[in-house]
Structure 1
Amino acid sequence: MNFGEVLSKAWKIIWKNKVLWIFGILASCGRSSGGSGGRGNFNLPSNGNLNLPKGENPFSNSQIPDIDKLGQNFEKLFTNGNEPQWGFIIGLICLIFFIAIIFAFLSTIGRIGLIRGTVMADNGQEPLTFGQVWTSSLPYFWKVFFLNLLFGLVIMLAMLIVLIPLIIFAFGTMGIGLLCIIPLLCLFIPLTMILNVILEQANVAMVVEDLGIWASVVRGWNVCRENIGPVAVVALVIIFGGGIAGFIIALPLLLVLVPLLVVVFSQDQSVMTTGLATSGVLLCCLMPVVIGLQGILQSYIGSIWTLTFVRLTAPKPVESEFPPSVTVLN
Structure 2
Amino acid sequence: MDYPQGPYGERNSPERRFSYGELMKSALRISWRNKFLWFFGLFVGGGLTSNLNFPTNLGGGQQDQEVPGLDQLFSSTMQNASSTGFSGALPLGLQSGPGGGTIALIIGAVILALVLVLAVIALIIISQGGLASSVAAIDGGEERRFGQTWRAGLSNFWRVLLQAILLFLIGVGLFVAVAAIVGLPVLFTFLLSQSVGLRVAMSVIFGIVGVLLFIAIFVPFAIVSQLAVRELVVGRSGVAASIGGAYGLFRRNFGRSLLVWLLNIGLKIAVGIATLIVLGLAGLILLGPGIAAGLSGATTTGIALGIVGGVLFLLPALLVSAATGTYFHSYWTLAYLRLNGTGGAAVPVSSTPSPPSDSAHRGEGSEQRRGQQTAMLRRPEDEQGRQEPTDEEKPRNDAPRR
Regarding TM over 0.5, the answer is yes
Tell me the equivalent position of 1:61. none
Which residue matches 2:163? 147
Q: Find out whether 1:292 has 2:319 as its counterpart.
A: yes
Q: State the 1:304 CA deviation.
A: 1.2
Return the offset for 1:152: 2.6
Residue type at the aligned position of 1:249: T
Which of these residues, 270, 287, 305, is aligned with residue 332 of structure 2? 305
CA 1:311–1:162: 2 relative to 1, 3 Å: closer
Q: SS of the residue aligned with 2:333? A: helix
1:1-330 map, 5 Å: 1-29=18-46, 33-34=50-51, 72-73=61-62, 75-76=64-65, 79-80=67-68, 83=71, 95-126=112-143, 128-156=144-172, 159=175, 184=210, 188=214, 191-251=217-277, 252-253=279-280, 255=284, 266=295, 270-314=297-341
- Against the structure 1 CA distance between its residues 299 and 315, is the aligned structure 2 distance closer, same or farther, given a 3 Å change threshold? closer
What is the identity, as a one-letter code, of the residue corresponding to 1:287? L
Counterpart position of 2:386 = none
> Which stretch has the larger CA shift, 200-209 or 186-195?
186-195
Q: Per-residue deviation at 1:300?
A: 1.1
Q: CA separation in 2, counterparts of 1:84 and 1:158? A: 44
Task: Give the CA RMSD over aligned residues.
Answer: 4.7
1:196-233: CA deviations, max 9, x gaps? 22111000000111111110100111111111111111
- Checking the alignment, whether the CA contact within 8 Å between 1:117 and 1:133 is kept in structure 2 is yes
Relative distance call for 1:195 and 1:162 in structure 2 (3 A) is closer
How many angstroms does 1:132 deviate by?
1.8
1:71: Cα distance to partner?
5.2
Structure 1 counterpart of 2:194? none
CA distance in 2, matches of 1:295, 1:25: 4
Which has the larger Rg? 2
Q: Render the CA deviation track for 1:74-102: whole Å, top value 9, x for unaligned.
A: 7458x526847687587666555433322
Identity among equivalent positions (%) equals 25
Question: TM-score, normalised to structure 2's length?
Answer: 0.58
Structure-2 separation of matches of 1:187 and 1:283? 43
Residues 101/2 of structure 1: CA separation in 2 closer, same or farther (3 Å cut): same
* Aligned amino acid, residue 132 of structure 1: Q
Whichever residue aligns with residue 167 of structure 2, its letter is: F
Offset of residue 29 of structure 1: 3.8
1:244-287 deviations in Å (ceiling 9; x for gaps): 213422442553775797699x5x6x345544544433222111
- Structure 1 gaps of 5+ residues are 39-69, 318-322, 325-330
The count of corresponding residues between Structure 1 and Structure 2 is 289
Supply the distance in 2 between the matched residues of 1:276 and 1:189 (Cα, whole angstroms). Answer: 47
Structure 1 152/284 Cα, relative in aligned 2: closer, same or farther at 3 Å? farther
Looking at structure 2, the residues matched to 5 and 274 of structure 1 have their Cα atoms a distance apart, in angstroms, of 51
Determine if contact 2:228/2:245 at 8 Å carries over to the other structure: yes
